[in-house]
Structure 1
């Protein structure tokens, strides 16, 4: 682990961080640990060591390893949501633009995480914490897409199953691009076509 990942408080003048700042710092170090050494290396004592803080500080924020992994996933969700919201707000009010923004933003955000989030998901597989967090995020994402695409939806509307299919495609295509099975452009193009086809069906 590079010394640059250490908390700068460990050298020179000590800097008191707010609780929010400390959380951000710990999550950043946790992400670097996963990228450098894999998810299995991420434990609360190891995080405390690499962040240059006392173990009780880390336990106060996360309590358990699953709590830390869940916080990492929630942070990913928040950043992905912010990226998609900003892109949608700045896009033209035409279907092609909205569909392109949703597809590109989703794929790009997953790719930006490298192996971090797949590793977190694998480590949390089957945990109640992950199930709750993922469900909340999925429903929120679906509603954001429903709102963005509402002006182009036909009288039939879009069934909830359609949005779940779109989300499944988004996850599968993004992860395939992340592992090199397909290119990022192929993932974006296929997801775009999936979204447009869903809207076209609602207009038949």
Structure 2
């Protein structure tokens, strides 16, 4: 028996190290993101994920229960990353409207681009069921409240309308998606979103003061 064959035999006889639950979930999420990126959201099923990750279906079901549960986990991970990025940038920013608007615009676009063009597909898939749509709206509400708090200090009445914030969020999603697929550059997306945020804040201020 050659030394290479002996090494293979010895390696095969070694017991495989069992992944911790946290490490396994991390592996499954990484594989899920790759599947969405390479094949689209429609290809993401629990069975397909199990096959690609090299585990049995019960392992995947134990972590996510259902496909909506998996999609929710992906969106929650994206939101957590976005929140962390934005919180750190807001804390380091100067307390003025232009800096705060820059942070919101840059953080949103950067986080989408960091995740790649797969996140628009996940966001779109969230509309496939009331359960997922509710999850998306809950996280959207948190994001809009964070933006309201960051911007309201620059308004005498400290009141930024929900309609304005909803329009800002819609623009953020559309511009980030366009940047992710290469339709526009990331700088163009950030600049346009910045202008929209500043205009939204200043427009409502002037309207109240007149």
Determine if the TM-score, normalized by the shorter chain, exceeds 0.5: yes
Q: Could you give the per-residue CA deviations for residues 88-115 of structure 1, whole angstroms, max 9, x where no partner exists?
A: 1111112111110100110111122222
What root-mean-square deviation, in Å, do the aligned CA atoms of Structure 1 and Structure 2 show? 2.1
2:66 maps to 64
Indicate the structure (1 or 2) with the bigger Cα radius of gyration: 2
- d(CA) in 1 for partners of 2:51 and 2:58? 11
Task: Report the equivalent of 1:196.
Answer: 198
| Cα distance change of structure 1 residues 33 and 126 upon mapping to structure 2, 3 Å threshold | closer
| Structure 1 counterpart of 2:173 | 171
Q: Does 1:117 align with 2:114?
A: no
**C-alpha contact (below 8 Å) 2:101/2:197 kept by paired residues:** yes
Q: 1:201 to 1:51 in 2, by over 3 A?
A: same
How many Å separate the matches in 2 of 1:11 and 1:170? 53
TM-score (norm 1): 0.87
TM-score by length of 2: 0.84
SS in 1 for 2:128: coil
Q: Distance in 2 between matches of 1:169 and 1:122?
A: 15
Residues paired across the two proteins, number: 195
Q: 2: CA distance between counterparts of 1:137 and 1:147?
A: 16
Q: 1:155–1:202: 8 Å Cα contact kept in structure 2? A: no
Go from structure 1 to structure 2 and tell me whether the alpha carbon gap of 1:13 and 1:105 turns closer, same or farther (over 3 Å shift).
farther
Consecutive unaligned residues in structure 1, runs of 5 or more: 1-9
Match of residue 26, structure 1, among 25, 28, 45: 28
Give yes or no for contact 2:126–2:136 (8 Å, CA) kept in 1. Answer: no
Q: 1:11 to 1:108 in 2, by over 3 A?
A: farther
Looking at structure 1, the residues matched to 99 and 184 of structure 2 have their Cα atoms a distance apart, in angstroms, of 23
| Stretches (4+) displaced over 6 A | none
2:184 counterpart SS class: coil
**Could you tell me how far apart the structure 2 residues matched to 1:102 and 1:70 are?**
23
Q: How far is 1:14 from its partner?
A: 2.8
> Distance between the aligned counterparts of 1:117 and 1:82, measured in 2?
17
Is the contact between residue 152 and residue 158 of structure 2 (CA under 8 Å) also seen in structure 1?
no
Equivalent positions of 1:128-147 (< 5 A) are: 128-147=130-149
Aligned mates of 1:177, 1:52 — CA distance in 2: 33
Counterpart-to-counterpart distance in 1, 2:32 and 2:13:
20
1:22 deviates by 2.1
- Of 95-104 and 51-60, the range deviating more from structure 2: 51-60
Q: 1:54 aligns with which of 53, 56, 62?
A: 56
- Relative to structure 1, the CA distance from residue 11 to residue 82 in structure 2 (aligned partners, 3 Å threshold; closer, same or farther) is farther
Aligned partner of 1:103 in structure 2 is 105
Structure 2 residue corresponding to 1:93, chosen from 78, 92, 95: 95
The gaps in structure 2 that reach 5 residues or longer are 1-11
